[in-house]
Amino acid sequence: DADVTQTPRNRITKTGKRIMLECSQTKGHDRMYWYRQDPGLGLRLIYYSFDVKDINKGEISDGYSVSRQAQAKFSLSLESAIPNQTALYFCATSEQTGTGDGYTFGSGTRLTVV
């Protein structure tokens, strides 16, 4: 089983619909992140969480919300999807302190809003 699992892998939804992307991890890491990736724009941080009670906005949080249900679960919601939220979404995890080994990424969710 993958260390960081994202569901669904692909999703097509209509404008205005609410959608949730889910992420679970078996790494035992405290920190979890949601990124979106668009061609030419690289990886942009949406939200991150250092533990269950700590949620922080990233550089592009507008239109998104998150929930950290447990150490191992971090969900991203689009309350009312719009076409410019069409992107590849990645969940990632990391250790709490120290230089660590960087992030471990999930396989991604390709979201299309029509």
The contact set with other proteins (CB under 8 A) reads 33, 40-43, 45, 48, 88, 90, 94, 97-108, 110
Closest CB to other proteins among residues 40, 84: 40
Q: Fill in the amino acid letter for 75.
A: S
Separation CA 11–CA 96 (nearest Å): 31
| b/e per residue 87-108 (b: at least 16 CB within 10 A) | bebbbbbbbeeeeeeebbbbeb
With respect to other proteins, which residue has the nearer C-beta, 62 or 102? 102
Q: What's the closest the beta carbon of residue 79 comes to other proteins, in angstroms?
A: 24
Residue number with CB closer to other proteins (31 or 113): 31
